[in-house]
Each structure stands twice: as C-alpha cells, then as structure tokens.
C-alpha cells in the first residue's frame, strides 16, 4: 500500500521537472537543498554519547551513586523515582557537554556531531519510568552547533521496549521493539522531532533508529519501518539515515529504489577482534572500508564499535557488573570469556596512562579507520567525552596527540593503500 502511494507521489514530482530532465535520477530533484554535501564532502564527526541517553561506561559515577540493580536509564529512573531522577539528570544534561566542547570539535576539523536521544524525551510514555527534560537541552545544542559551524545528525537511540536489548537503548535485556504499538510510537516521535527541529539550520539528517536488531525484530519489519520513516522525511531537506540493522553493509542494495537522500550507517563490529594483533586490526579496518564503497548508497560509519580501543577493558563497557572479555572477567547470561591480556591501566583513566606500545597502536588503528571510512562517505567517532575510557574518549585522544589533530593529519599515512 505504502509503496504505491510513494510511487505515485514520486511520479507526480517528476512531472514538475522540465521535460529535458525527466530521465535524470530522482535524487537530482531534491538534493539541491540539502544542508550538507553528503557523498561529496566527507562526513567527519563525533558522537555526543552518554548525554541524553545514559551509558554506564561513559559516566560510571552516575551509576555508582545508585544501587547495583541500576544498569540503564530505565532502571535509573525507576529506582530513584521521577523527582530524584529528574533532579540529577537535569544537572547532567546541563553540564556534560558545553558550548566550548562544540568549538573544540570544529577546531579539530570536524563538520558533524551525532546526538543520541531517547523516544521518551520527545513524546511522553506514561507506562515507562523515564523522565523528560533532555529535549530542551537538545534544542540548545543545535544552536551551539550552528554557532560552531557544525551539522547535526539527530539519532533516535532508544525506542519503546528496546530495539536491541543494549543498555544504551535505555533498557537492557530483551528486544521488545516491533511488538504492540512500539513502531507507531517510534514514528510519532520521529515526526515530532522533524516538526520541532527539522527546520533548524544545523540539523542536516535524522537517523531513524540506532542499531535495531534485525534478526530479532525481523528484517522485513525493519525495512517497512525505514520506508515509512523515510516517507515522513522525504519532503524535507533532511537526509534519512538508517542503520544496517546488523544485516551487513551490502545487504541494502536491493532496497530503497525510487527513494532519495538515503544514507546508510554501519557500525563496525568484529567479535573476534580482541585476539588480533595491530596489523590484523589495521587490515580488517581497511577491508571494511572497501566493503563500504561497494554498495549503492552513501555509507558512513556512524559509530566505531571498537573506537580506538584495542580491548573491552573499560569499566562497565559491557554493562554494569558484567566484566571484560579481554581479561576473562566477562560473565553475563551464562556467557563467559578467557584471558587474553591484562586490563591494568586500560579500564579507566586517560590514554596517557597506557603503555607506549598500546598508545602507538591505538593511533595507528584510529588512522587506519579514518582512511578506511573516508573511502566511503565518512565517519563519526564514538564518543566525544567519557569519565575515563582510554581509546574511546576523543577529547582525551586529541589532547594526548593520539587522535590526529586536525583530523585530516596522519602520523601513519597510507595504511590502507
Ligand atoms: C600500568 O602503569 C604503571 C604506571 O605507569 C606501570 O608501572 C605498569 O607497568 C603499567 N601496567 C601495564 C600492564 O602496562
């Protein structure tokens, strides 16, 4: 039904074109007003993670001030109650990222920030404990971005009942998204976001949903949701960003024909990567960059799942109370791990505190990923700031000369050649 409607609108749009351009691809018609030259200029950016959606490993102090059962934003609000949760969170929303941070991001040569937000901040959910209030701080951040000359990808990071079961969706556990009215409420949140913020000059794209677990939700359901979400954005000058739903970067070539201004976001993940030496890490990154160039859509890596880190040692990285695979302390839902190496100096603090070899390798790995993803449409690093996560904290990596500054510099040039 929907695709028929879309098709007839697309044909109606075509008839508005001068007859000489009828044969031109549809994209030519609506690309002209985009706020950023996607596919032309490289996306270079950073996520403002742990700001409007809590993540234990980014701000462990927020979680350490609560009982052990608090593992995500849902249980945080549920356990503290809305009054106390609001009082603490509003302070966090007001202070975690400052206007000066955005100027530092621009000064390092980046052109984008990606801002995760939960559905609960946009539309009220009376049946969930989440507290509202982050939305006004998102609005302030857009003005800051405009002042700093940055474009913004607003990323719906948490959807009703969780789209992936990760703590960073707001609710750790099972995947309930796709059930009941969860998809229609997600669409309602996206439409509200479009209406409230889509016209802001800094907002160049909206990501419909972060990391939906395609295998649990059902890939056809995800595809239909993406088509509906795009349909609600297609008459704007916003690019519609969609995540590959863990189906792989080349699984979307047969999808999206007749649609325009689509951008694919893939988050590089390699479960076996912890055992690799640095040359294998570099080789995998370069190989993945080549894959990203082989599909028919603008493709970015909107999160580097390993960021600059060569281990998963950061405290709470796998969840509060879960442990690390790298040192064999991982223990979650019956799964465990074996010892690869020590997490000493890697679980908190600064990249300046890790041994020189790991620091050097981290720089190599970061630059290989920059080279790889710039073969495609670009990259957005995860994440700008943490309370101490060596390899994941861009502010810290820049300050210590491990992340190239400006980001187009190379200390290890040509690794993917
Ligand atoms: C951790 O850092 C301390 C102090 O710099 C150093 O003595 C120690 O060797 C480091 N441990 C590892 C495993 O690198």
- Positive or negative torsion for Cα 232, 299, 47, 392: positive
Cβ pair 21, 9 in contact under 8 A: no
Cβ pair 377, 43 in contact under 8 A: yes
Cβ pair 71, 320 in contact under 8 A: yes
Q: Is 94 in the pocket of ligand 1 (CB under 6 A)?
A: no
Q: Give the pLDDT of the chain (417 residues) as one tens digit per residue.
A: 333 333 333 333 333 333 333 444 444 445 558 999 999 999 999 999 999 999 999 999 999 999 999 999 999 999 999 999 999 999 999 999 999 999 999 999 999 999 999 999 999 999 999 999 999 999 999 999 999 999 999 999 999 999 999 999 999 999 999 999 999 999 999 999 999 999 999 999 999 999 999 999 999 999 999 999 999 999 999 999 999 999 999 999 999 999 999 999 999 765 556 778 999 999 999 999 999 999 999 999 999 866 678 889 999 999 999 999 999 999 888 898 899 999 999 999 999 999 999 999 999 999 999 999 999 999 999 999 999 999 999 999 999 999 999 999 999 999 999
Q: Is 27 in the pocket of ligand 1 (CB under 6 A)?
A: no
Assigned CATH class of 4-18+27-399: alpha beta
- Per domain, the residue ranges of the chain are 4-18+27-399
Question: How far apart are the C-alpha atoms of 393 and 389, rounded to whole Å?
Answer: 6
Diameter of the chain by CA atoms? 67
| Nearest-atom index, ligand 1, CA of 354 | 14
Please say if 303 is a catalytic residue. yes
Please say if 84 is a catalytic residue. no
Q: What stretch of H or E contains 336?
A: strand 335-336
Give nearest CA residue, ligand 1 atom 1: 345
Three-state DSSP at 322 gives coil
Dist. CA 353 → ligand 1 center (Å): 8
Q: Which of 345, 349, 353, 354 to mutate to test the pocket of ligand 1 (most atoms within 8 A of CB)?
A: 345
What's this model's pTM, rounded to 2 decimal places? 0.92
Q: Is 352 in the pocket of ligand 1 (CB under 6 A)?
A: no
The DSSP secondary structure of 4-61, one letter per residue, reads: HHHHHHHHHHHHTS-GGGTTS-THHHHGGG-SS-BTTBPEEEEE-TTSSS--TTT-HH
């Amino acid at each position: 039904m929907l695709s028929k409607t879309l098709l007839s609108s697309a044909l109606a749009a075509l008839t508005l074109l001068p007859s000489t351009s009828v044969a031109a691809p549809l994209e030519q018609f609506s690309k002209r007003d985009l706020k950023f030259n996607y596919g032309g200029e490289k996306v270079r950016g950073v996520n403002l993670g742990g700001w409007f959606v809590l993540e234990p490993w980014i701000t462990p102090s927020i979680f350490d001030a609560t009982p052990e059962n608090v593992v995500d934003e849902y249980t945080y609000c549920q356990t503290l109650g809305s009054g106390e949760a609001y009082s603490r969170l509003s302070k966090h929303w007001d202070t975690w990222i400052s206007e000066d941070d955005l100027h530092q991001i621009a000064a390092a040569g980046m052109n984008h920030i990606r801002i995760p937000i939960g559905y609960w901040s946009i539309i009220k959910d009376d049946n969930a404990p989440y507290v509202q209030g982050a939305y006004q701080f998102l609005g302030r951040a857009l003005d800051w971005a405009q002042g700093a000359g940055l474009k913004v990808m607003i990323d719906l990071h948490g959807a009703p009942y969780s789209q992936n079961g990760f703590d960073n969706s707001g609710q750790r556990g099972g995947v309930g998204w796709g059930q009941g009215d969860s998809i229609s409420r997600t669409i309602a949140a996206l439409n509200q976001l479009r209406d409230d913020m889509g016209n802001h000059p800094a907002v160049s794209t909206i990501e419909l949903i972060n990391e939906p677990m395609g295998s649990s939700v059902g890939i056809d359901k995800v595809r239909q949701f993406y088509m509906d979400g795009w349909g609600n954005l297609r008459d704007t000058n916003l690019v519609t960003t969609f995540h590959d739903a863990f189906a792989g970067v080349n699984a979307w070539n047969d999808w999206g024909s007749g649609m325009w201004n689509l951008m694919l976001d893939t988050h590089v993940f390699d479960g076996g990567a912890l055992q690799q030496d640095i040359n294998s890490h570099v080789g995998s990154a370069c190989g993945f960059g080549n894959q990203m160039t082989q599909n028919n859509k603008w493709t970015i890596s909107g999160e580097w799942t390993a960021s600059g880190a060569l281990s998963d040692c950061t405290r709470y990285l796998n969840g509060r109370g879960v442990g690390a695979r790298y040192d064999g302390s991982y223990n979650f839902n019956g799964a465990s791990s074996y010892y690869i190496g020590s997490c000493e100096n890697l679980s908190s603090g600064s990249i300046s505190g890790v041994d020189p070899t790991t620091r050097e390798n981290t720089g190599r790995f970061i630059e290989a990923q920059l080279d790889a993803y710039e073969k495609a449409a670009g990259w957005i690093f995860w994440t700008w700031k943490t309370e101490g996560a060596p390899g994941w904290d861009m502010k810290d990596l820049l300050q210590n000369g491990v992340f190239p500054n400006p980001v187009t510099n190379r200390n290890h040039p040509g690794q993917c050649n």
